A and B are shown apart, each in its own frame.
Chain A
Amino acid sequence: MKRVKGDEDACSSSSEGPTESCKKVRKLQPSKEKHQEEEEETDVDLCEFGFDWALLPQEILLNIFQFLPLLDRAYASQVCRGWNQAFHMPELWRCFEFELNQPASSYLKATHPDLIKQIIKRHSNHLQYVSFKVDSSTESAEAACDILSQLVNCSLKTLGLISTARPSFMELPKSHFISALTVVFVNSKSLSSLKIDDTPVDDPSLKVLVANNSDTLRMLKMSSCPHVSPAGILCVADQCHGLRELALNYHLLSDELLLALSSEKHVHLEHLRIDVVSENPGQHFHTIRKSSWDAMLRHSPKFNLVMYFFLYEDEFGPFFREEVPITHLYFGRSVSKDVLGRVGLHCPRLVELVVCANGLRPLDEELIRIAKRCTQLSAIGLGECEVSCSAFVEFVKMCGRRLSQLSIMEEVLIPDHKYNLDEIHWEVSKHLGRVWFPDMMPTW
């Protein structure tokens, strides 16, 4: 139960010798608690009897080990042969997160190289759920690829390549990365989820993925993978009929892709995430036909469409002109009143809305329109925007208790003749049915 206490016990028992540790075993069994003299006797008996932690059945040991962090398991494995065997039980090695950091580029600890070696040697065939967390250095990304390319006799179910600081996989020679990744694709045969955002994955490697894992692939996250083309992702959608979650950038989104995902053979899509990022100012974006979205919605009526926009205000031209089945909408940069007005008109399925910034004019009518037409809306966050207090109260009143998350920076709310800032928190709390405050930033 108590880890700290447990550690003390472990430490002291090693120094106190066998009798002492037996006493502790006794104390762990309250049902047999007796008078002290008797206890002493039994202790001796137990020791003579040869009671041994090592005799703990493997299942129980496994159960305990599963609750221990790796470092503690490693310490425990040095106690006796039995525990050492338990340390290597395959069940404990199905899942592993490699943390690859260099002292020069990260504050965090890295997985010890010896441990990595041991895993590759003894446990690579047990690994099923693997992720790599890689800091901003190219060395770390390389190290991840080296490990990947040694995973030849394993069958992974999930693989995640996560850049924790900068997208360091992008700095690797593409061929090096691809060859490491395809080792996993070829050997796994049953990959179910794959998270490879910000990597140099390309069309041919996706073909290898599809050729080996098309029956099992359920999730693919590949936002900001510049070497993939719309045709490359279309090939995945065409053949991986079990795909239920997909994350990619807008330039890969096409009418064909949506139609492929809504073909009869295809399971219902649950989650589609699109990042719309402007690479150079004034970029022009293509449009998606309403009929394609309609097809998607007919096929997967419950799917989440999550869109992250990081655009300049003047790049929104093609968006929100017709109805889109967006459920979660995030505007990372400034977005105009006009676009937010269009959101209110064309996003009837909207559930969550985040507006990081907007111009200097209050968003009063836009919010009220959204409250009126987006009847599923349950979460909203506003950063550098302005809303008059009365319009905000009206908005909350219209949405009522379905607003489970309401995160508004204090500066957003502009006091008017009806409410000042002290009053608004009561008024809003009343309509929400719970205590609510605007988010604050320190004045320092």
Chain B
Amino acid sequence: MSHQLKNRGEEGDRSRRTPSMKRTRPAEKAPGRRRSQPGQKERAGGSPASGSPRRKQAERRGRRELLGDRERGSAEKTCGGRRKKDGRASLREQRAASKKEKEAQRKEEMWKQLKKHRSSSVASSTSSGESLSEEELARILEQVEDKKKLIASMRSKPWPMARKLAELREAQEFVEKYEGALGKGKGKRLYAYRMLMAKKWVKFKRDFDNFKTQCIPWEMKIKDIESHFGSSVASYFIFLRWMYGVNLVLFGLIFGLVIIPEVLMGMPYGSIPRKTVPRAEEEKAMDFSVLWDFEGYIKYSALFYGYYNNQRTIGWLRYRLPMAYFMVGVSVFGYSLMIVIRSMASNNQGSTSEGESDNFTFSFKMFTSWDYLIGNSDTADNKYASITTSFKESIVDEQESNKEENVHLTRFLRVLANFLIICCLCGSGYLIYFVVKRSQEFSKMQNVSWYERNEVEIVMSLLGMFCPPLFETIAALENYHPRIGLKWQLGRIFALFLGNLYTFLLALMDDVHLKLSNEETIKNITHWTLFHYYNSSGWNESVPRPPLHPADVPRGSCWETAVGIEFMRLTVSDMMVTYITILLGDFLRACFVRFMNYCWCWDLEAGFPSYAEFDISGNVLGLIFNQGMIWMGSFYAPGLVGINVLRLLTSMYFQCWAVMSSNVPHERVFKASRSNNFYMGLLLLVLFLSLLPVAYTIMSLPPSFDCGPFSGKNRMYDVIQETVENDFPTFLGKIFAFLANPGLIIPAILLMFLAIYYLNSVSKSLSRANAQLRKKIQALREVEKSHKSVKGRATPRDSEDTDKGNSKNGTQLTKEGTAHHPASQSQTLDQKAQGPGASSSASKTVLLASQHLPVSRAPGVRPDSGQARPQVHPWRSTSGKRAWRPPH
């Protein structure tokens, strides 16, 4: 009886095993065909990160194939011819199987044999890489014949159309691929050649992938930092790298389309007043102190707006520089908006796919974190660090999720903290407003003291120095998870920095308006001077006077260049301050702590000063606001982006070095969310904010009369109108005029709002559906789990599987789990009734099998799998003696 049961158990076991075989086979199919590469799969397995997508694909394909096979098995009941392959086949002979099924078997067998051949004679197959043995040729020939037959008889098969098509295509492909191998001489060589090429191609692709990975700049540095400081610090560096990429594109745009054409084709320096240093500044124009302030020769260079001439076209290319200048200014913003929004969207897409429940986080980390292929001690050190960090991160997450606290107290504390911080923000906002007002008064007064002149800057930097730590202290009340805490901190400091921005812009606007009001008088003076110069008496009337030297022409203040210089100075000083802070605050402190610790009263490393932590929020915001400055300033100082590229590049290296040399990881290392959409959101906000003043100046301030590409026009955007009128056919001008009609613009805006509303609601409903599906999957998993645990409890536990012979069956099962087999449960009960002694091995078999069902597969997917399975691969009886018995 127990024998019988065992037998039945094996049927179940067989049925269970088949799908996973099927599942893995396609992965092997490719290398199997290209016989010359043994172990393609394994190589992919060596680096699980790169190999896993391929494997998944193969799995999916395998599953499809499996379903197809089942269909085949159940749909086809006709008896087909029998085939004798080898000793194993005799077992198969015992039952009548469908023809189609046979074909699948044959195919499979071929792969098996191919593989067997490969494994049994690796030496020969590697040495004679591309040539084919006779045996193999015969096999392929046979297979090709089969496929041809299949193609011929496809019409009469009772299959659905889609399947017929798929089969046909597959068969044709196969025939096409392998027919060449069967030809004598040339065909064979061609086949061998193609094999060789395919192999080379795979290798090339792999090498190329490696190359691509190596090409990602600073990847190793960032990984290094990530392994020591956790993903949160690394996220800053990834953001910095992204920013560098964006700035490179902007740099290419501005340099390629504005600065280089101007330098190559524009009028040279000294030809006209706007391109010449005025007489009064000439002697100091080359001094370093002047140049450092971006005055002198730098001010009258292509780096700034004022240098550009308002000629419509320049050079022999007739390049329309003013137009290009305007369009580049617009496209800088356009590109930045697009790239920010696109990366936000792609981050979102990535985040929806991760929803894996992590049931065994710690077990996984504990048992599988070490990569046994590591042979380099540096890599090993990094791996140590990253294992440590990931443990720390998980601990933080774990503590956070297990925290049980007084909800009311927490809520109260959070409200209190927010209240305090809002008070702080309002206070500092008012302080800034007050100081700015005062400074406007001071600017009107004569002989103000140094403090009064620099009051705004002093107050701003004091606020910037003391508010963030204050916020952090207050935030400790809130007791958030550090990841969320970082976001709050970022948002609050952002609000504070907005005040900074506000004062800066306000001061700038005042300056601009002052200059604009003076412009009219200067314009008159210029005209008058020129007029006077040419018409003055006392000069010989017969000889035309030489034109006035450009350096002597009185000129306006050119507010655009002034704005550009302000931004330039701000960027450079910001960079300096950052670097000096890092040097003093981090590096010197680290040196002090490290070396003075030998002769100090208390432990410096553990005690008061200790080492600095990397300030993520400050650095991220610094980067974001710096980028805002660049966006605002690049219209008036085209060279600003170049400076910024340099800044980002140096700060990448400098900060990487500083972090690794003088910072310590945070006390609570936390895992950053993979998508740093929060940074991106802040960046988008800053981009929008910096768009506003630029748009305002372009749209509503008149450009200076004697400098810049738009001089002489009423407004800067007139350049578009001019181009449309002069360079396009007239009907286009009419169309533009028509499009600019408010009667058209308002409906267009309305339409856009409607579209936004519609898309928004669609995406909301989709995400709701997504969440529901996820819940469903979760529920299915839970059901399956509880099922398993019920079964696990139903079987005796005392049988420790130390006995090898006993565990054998279990092992076979656990290797390939499959969907739940209803028969096995009843069987378990049967065996239990029999007593553990008689059937301990069989019952363990079931236990193990039930425990190793892959969770990803829902039981509802193939309800009849238990019955259908044995028909698919019936020859896979593990016993040579026992005959296969059809399921009842």
Tell whether A and B belong to one assembly.
Answer: no
Which residues of B line the A interface, CB within 8 A? none
What is A's interface to B at a CB cutoff of 8 Å? Answer: none
